[in-house]
Structure formats: structure tokens, C-alpha cells
Amino acid sequence: MEKQKLVVIGAVAAGTKAASKAKRNNPDLDIKVFTKERYISYAGCGLPYYIGGVIKEKQEILVRSPEDFRNNQGIDVFTEHEVKKINVSEKKVIVEDLKSGNVQEFPYDKLIIATGASPIVPPLENIGLANIFTLRSVSDALTIRELLDSGKVKKAVVVGGGFIGLETAENLKYRGIEVTIVELMPHILPPFDEEIALYAQNHMVDMGVNILTGEKVTGFEGIDGKVSAVKTSAGDIEADMVILSIGVRPNTAVAVEAGIETGAAGAIKVNKYMETNIKDIYAAGDCAENTNLVTGKPVWYPMGSTSNKTGRIAGHNAALVKQDESMKDSLEGVLGTTIVRLFEINAAKTGLSERDAIREGYDIETVLVPGNDKAHYFPGNKRIITKLIVDRSTRKVLGAQIVGEGAADKPIDTIAAAITLGAKVSDLAKLDLAYAPPFSMAMSTTILSANVMMNKLTGRIETVKSGDVYKGLEDGSINILDVREEGEFFISAIPGSTNIPLNEIEARAGEIDKSKETIILVCKLGERAYSSYLKLKKLGFKNLRVLEGGTCAYPYELI
């Protein structure tokens, strides 16, 4: 009996994962993987750290070679081979050997498309100058690092303030390069909400990275064929090297030509089994769309973690001899959970942002709560700030964001798990989480933020966001009352604020200016402001608000 044939188009994360899983499930499969790239299985997310020298050797980011697949699993991998066409009616792929130019046909019984995504390169003036790069492949990283090692780069511009752009900027700075980031949106980390993104942005500026937001790159200037300056709406910026990191597009041309439907952001439309609209053809990884677990709507999250999951599922289902629904593996959806390290801070996100939730029509409540990643008395404890987004009517957790010097991975993963299981904020507040001083506060930051949210939802406290404070300062509608100790106040304070320490608040209540529309109570974290709130409420004050997160979460410059 002739072996069943599985063809995989594309490698790296989804393609190699799909091929390996299919072979494990069905060792009799004849599996062929075709990829345009020279390197097939590598740690794409580690590329910024390779150019920065954190990862020393190229071999450390190369996961497996074609020989590994052939010798260890019996999977044939063809590098530098491009699938030019999928013949759906005859179940064949037309493949060109990019080195020799030879074209061959290969039959398939099942086909997995894992063609990934390509970096966006806008048609700007002089975009073809030397030393203008994208960072998507091992070849990109090798070329960039070779240029950096030459010592000829003193100034670099990174176009785009997303994850890869920021990680690249950090690593260039580690190498002593003067770095400027140009971001079209109002702040870096566009998927995050403003107050979280600004906290990260201010930190990067403090670390010596120049950041221009709300500005557009219009072209480039060069000398002797090499880039020398980046032209922007804010003026020209000198540059010996430019990294374009403005996003990616799914590679779907060969699929679309074959009649395979596309959906969100132009990615290939799939069901929860990774099946396309054409029988026996699957899609996985960065070329395929996803489903948002919160909204149930199609989305596109080109992420390494998602690529591995969807590749595994596609491989499992493609290897089944009988397409029995009960035997299929599936992925109901994803949350876009992500995390990034930026010098001395971490930023993480899962689920919907506040902006996304409002756009989707949810009636939401949010809180911003600082806390420690370990017990406050334990050496090495660091601050993190948690933002929760909750639906008011159902009280289900819709999303969360975390930023700060402390560990953000554990709490964001905890909240991601809770959202996946449909948890309400009251469930989050009652989780039985591990506690010991080296690992967490007795009431972890996750539980603490959930309790603050419960207080807000039940009307025990009224708060205000830092952005509203900033606006209120401009129009003069607010009175800011800082309840920290005098020494703390003189070190740093929000402009225009008045200082009355918590222990003096009742005795000096008559000094408080009641003429403003709102009185905003401020301390470092919010705890003393909440105590002041309760005391002043008892004295009859009505127009009170507590600044969420205190001065720790105030992302604007303090004076």
C-alpha cells in the first residue's frame, strides 16, 4: 500500500511543528517540507538578542537542521525551494528550486500551509539604500550583526515602536549605539493602553533611547549608496543604520491563487481544526487567522506561541487516517497574550485592552493597582502595576496589562488562564495562589487588583485615571491633594498639588480647597489616598476621587 503523502509549505515554527507532530502521530506518513529560506527551524523571537550580543553564537538560535529532520524523523526538508502553485484539482504542488531553477511537481494527500508573514517595507523615497534592514529571518540578523561588529554604526533609527522594534532598540543601546525610535502612533507599544505604554516609554527615555511618537517617516537620504539620514515629519535624523519594524503581512499569495479563503487582516481563514475551505488543506502559524477567545471574532495574532500551537493542531489533524470529529484536536481561540522586557522593566498583556473593549461595545470598568512581585520586606522585591479590564454587567475579566521592574510573567499567565476559563473578577480575587516571601506578597498583585476592582464595582471607592488628572491640570477643574509625608512630597509631586499628610487630614480638612469640581487624593500607591478618601467622606466631602495607582503609575513627568 502506497504511503499517504503530507506536504508542508513553510518551516520555522508552525511548519516544522506540524511536520513533527504529524510524523509522531503517523510514522508511516511520507512528509515533505518546502521552504524558501535557507534556515528552517530557528528562534525568531531571539533575533534582537543575537544582534545585541546577549546570544553569542548563531548556533544558539538555530533549533534544528534539515539533516536532523531527515535522520531523526524521516522528514524530507527542502530549503530554498518555493511552492509556486497549488493544483487543488490534481492535489499537487509546483515547486521551484531557487538555486538551480528546476521546477517539479509533488503530489499530496494532505497539505499544510505555514507560509508565515513578511515584514512591511513601505515604498518610501530611497528605501533601497544600503543599511536599511528588516529583522525577520536569521539572514537578516547575520547581516545586521556583521555590520555592527564592523564598528561603522554609531547612530541607528528604529522605525516602529512595537515589540521587535523596542527589543531591537534595547539591544542596539547595549552595544553603545545612539538609538532613535520613530513611531507613528501616539505612544510606543500600540496594543497597550496609554498609561501602561507611557510608563514603558518614559523608562526607555530614561535609559537613553530617543523616542519620537506621532511622527511619520517620509523617506531616507544617503551618501555613497548607504543611508545617512531618516526624513520624518519632525525633521531629519542622522543614521548609519535603519531597522524597519512597522509590522508584518501574512504570506497568502499561493493560497489565494488556489481559491483558499482569507479573513482577518488578509490571513487564511481556518476553523478550530485549522482546516481551510478546501478539503484536506490546513493552514497554521502567521499566515492563518485566529479567533479571539473574549469576543469570539476572527483576529490575527502573528506570534511564535500561537504558531507552535496551531502548527501542532494542524499536524495532528492532517495525520489522522479517519477524519473522526472525536479524534481531532482543536483550538477554540487565543488571547494575544504577550510579554516584553525593556531594559529594567517588563510589560505584559492579555485579552482586550480598554480601547478594544470599548470598541467592541462592552460596558467596562478598569483599575490600575501597584504592588510588589515579592513580599515588601524580602530582598530584591520589585514594583509592578496591574491594570484590569472587567465587564460591568457580567463582571467577567476581559483583559489585563502589567508593567514594572518586577516579574510580570506569572501574574499575566494567571489572568490569561482565568479569562480562558471565563472567570469573573470575584473568582480572580479568591484564587488560591502560591505564597512565600521570595515569590509573592501574601495577597498577590493579581488578588489585590481584583479586590480593588470589586471595591470600585460596588461603589466603595471612586477613582480617576492619570490621563484625566493630566487634562484636569490643564483646564484647572481639579484640586490635587497629596497625602504622603512632607519629605516624599518635596522629592517629587504632581504639579499644582497641595500636601496634607494622612495623619493630619482630619485636623486640617478646613484647608482643603472645595471650589474645584473634583478633589483628587494622591499617594505613592493608592492605599493612603483610599484611607484619606474614607476619612473625608465621613466629614461630608462628596466630590472625591482617588488617583489609580498613585504616583507610581502616573506616567507623566513629576516636578
DSSP codes, 49-80 = HHHTTSS--GGGTEEE-HHHHHHHH--EEETT
Catalytic site includes residue 523: no
C-alpha cell at 374: 515579592
Q: For residues 547 and 125, what is the distance between their CA atoms, to the nearest angstrom?
A: 46
Q: For residues 552 and 344, what is the distance between their CA atoms, to the nearest angstrom?
A: 15
Would the CA dihedral through 225, 228, 229, 230 be positive or negative?
positive
C-alpha cell at 56: 553569542
- Whole-number Cα distances in Å, 303 to 276, 306, 336, 506: 20, 5, 8, 53
Helix boundaries (H) for 150-238: 163-174, 194-206
* Nearest in space to 171 (alpha carbons), one of 243, 276, 63, 95: 243
DSSP codes, 95-144 = EEETTT--EEEEE-SEEEE---EEE-----BTTTSBTEEE--SHHHHHHH
Give the CA count within 13 Å in the CB-facing half-sphere of 260. Answer: 33
3-state secondary structure of 402: strand
* Phi, psi angles (nearest 5°) of residue 249: -125, 140
Is the CB of residue 264 less than 8 Å from the CB of residue 298? yes
Would you put residue 101 in left (φ > 0), alpha (ψ -120 to 50) or beta? left
Would you put residue 91 in left (φ > 0), alpha (ψ -120 to 50) or beta? left
C-alpha cell at 103: 521546477
Catalytic residue among 45, 287, 523, 552: 45
Please give the helix or strand (H or E) that residue 16 lies within, else none: helix 14-25
Please give the helix or strand (H or E) that residue 31 lies within, else none: strand 30-34
- Give the Cβ contact number of residue 322 at 10 Å: 5
Q: For residues 60 and 429, what is the distance between their CA atoms, to the nearest angstrom?
A: 41
- What are the catalytic residues? 45
